[in-house]
Amino acid sequence: MPKTITLTERFGHLVTTPSPKRKIEQKIERDSISVSLVDAALQCAEARGVAREALLAAAGIAPATLDSPRARVSPVQYGKLWNAIADALDDEFFGQDAHPMRRGSFVLLCHAALSSRDGAQALARIASFMRLVLDELSFAPEIGENRVRIWLDDQAGPKTMFAYATGFILVYGLLCWLVGRRIPVLAAHLRCAEPAASDEYRLMFCDDMRFGEPRSFVDLSAGCAALPVVQTPATLRRFLRDAPANFIVKYRNPDSLAARIRTRLRQTAPTDWPEAESIAAALNMAEATLRRRLKQEGLTYQAIKDALRRDLAIARLAHTRETIPQIADALGFAEPSAFRRAFRKWTGVRPADYRREP
């Protein structure tokens, strides 16, 4: 079991000079992505004659990780897979439209939107550009008093859930970066049938997600339209260097109690994570209040810690050469065997399965 260390006073303080190892963690620590989305992307490539083996190798994803439906990959791995498929197909929309979104389209889209005045103008330019490169799916923004609605017009018939998600990631991820903040997603109503991985897509979109609707749209917070565009050509170069791994993942609600707890946990090593009583005190609430509010969000404090440990483990396995005992120790497990058992419970596969064979 993980070692327990309570550090009430230290816990609220930011580390101003992180160690080299901590800098690595900060770079790669970004939630994780279900293999169901990996498989959906690979199916797009396979439908056009590209074998998955080479794509998985390019992404650094061990084939064994796809054997369990509970397995997950890091955003960096998924971003590499995204780029590998786009390169192989010369299509940044993965062949999900009659007209391919040729390689380099997203770079041009970023340049087209960069000089926008605010979120509304940026969204209009993004939608206009996407209309030029896709035939079967277009994005039509409608600025309202209480929300910004993006109509996903799919006149040729309902697209797959993965196609909607691919388009949403491109449009939403760029918009959030342009205004320098994560924009709340209020609702998502789609024409497609509910997919098996609907819980994963709810993490990507929002809780208010409905399927089999007469028309597809996504609602964003109304305030995003007036937000100024804050990015520059210099920041664009950095953004494109790390895309799309830097905007693939979003949390359900950045203002939720769970998100605040995740933020605090990331500020210290897993071996120093406090007990529920201490984290409640750091957040100026009673432990019973913390448990009740987390229950309302469908979570427990232990579940948050387990998910964060899981994602840190996946990132370390995928992006470092640390041994299993070293990773187990860094994550606060007393024995490597305890880490192996926990990892298999979380993902359905062994930690070693995440290491691609040379």
pLDDT at 232: 95
Choose the final residue of a domain: 50, 69, 89. 89
Instruction: Identify whether 244 is preceded by a cis peptide bond (ω within 30 of 0).
Output: yes
Enter the tokens of residue 255: 């203002």
Interatomic CA distance for residues 110 and 191, integer angstroms: 28
73: three-class secondary structure by DSSP: strand
Of the candidates 136, 137, 115, 112, which has an alpha carbon nearest to the alpha carbon of residue 126?
Answer: 112
Tell me if 247 is assigned to some domain: no
pLDDT at 247: 80
Domain of residue 270, CATH code = 1.10.10.60
Tell me if 151 is assigned to some domain: yes
pLDDT at 251: 40
Choose the final residue of a domain: 203, 224, 242. 242
Cβ atoms of 294 and 253 closer than 8 Å: no
pLDDT digits (tens), the chain, 358 positions: 444 333 232 223 323 333 444 443 433 345 788 899 999 999 999 999 999 999 999 999 989 888 888 888 888 899 999 999 999 999 999 999 999 999 999 999 999 999 999 999 999 999 999 999 999 999 999 999 999 999 999 988 999 999 999 999 999 999 999 998 888 899 999 999 999 989 889 888 888 999 999 999 999 999 999 999 999 999 999 999 888 887 876 544 556 788 889 889 988 999 999 999 999 999 999 999 999 988 877 789 999 999 899 989 988 988 888 999 999 999 999 999 999 999 988 888 889 887 754 4
Query: Please, what is the Cα angle at 120 between 96 and 256, to 5 degrees?
Result: 80
67 shares its domain with 116: no
174 shares its domain with 232: yes
Tell me if 122 is assigned to some domain: yes
112 shares its domain with 215: yes
Tell me if 1 is assigned to some domain: no
343 shares its domain with 261: yes
Handedness of CA 41, 43, 44, 48 (dihedral sign): positive
337 shares its domain with 219: no
Tell me if 2 is assigned to some domain: no
Of the candidates 85, 80, 81, 68, which has an alpha carbon nearest to the alpha carbon of residue 310?
Answer: 68
pLDDT at 354: 79
Tell me if 94 is assigned to some domain: no
198 shares its domain with 277: no
**Which residues form the domain of 79?**
34-89
The pTM (predicted TM-score) of the whole model is 0.72
64 shares its domain with 127: no
244: three-class secondary structure by DSSP: coil
**Total structural domains in the chain?**
3
Interatomic CA distance for residues 53 and 169, integer angstroms: 25
Enter the tokens of residue 347: 């993902």
Tell me if 96 is assigned to some domain: no
Choose the final residue of a domain: 63, 89, 115. 89
pLDDT at 341: 93
- Distant-in-sequence, close-in-space partners of 329: CB < 8 Å, separation ≥ 6: 271
265 shares its domain with 343: yes
Helix or strand (DSSP H, E) at 27: helix 20-28
Tell me if 95 is assigned to some domain: no
73 shares its domain with 26: no
143 shares its domain with 229: yes
237 shares its domain with 257: no
171 shares its domain with 110: yes
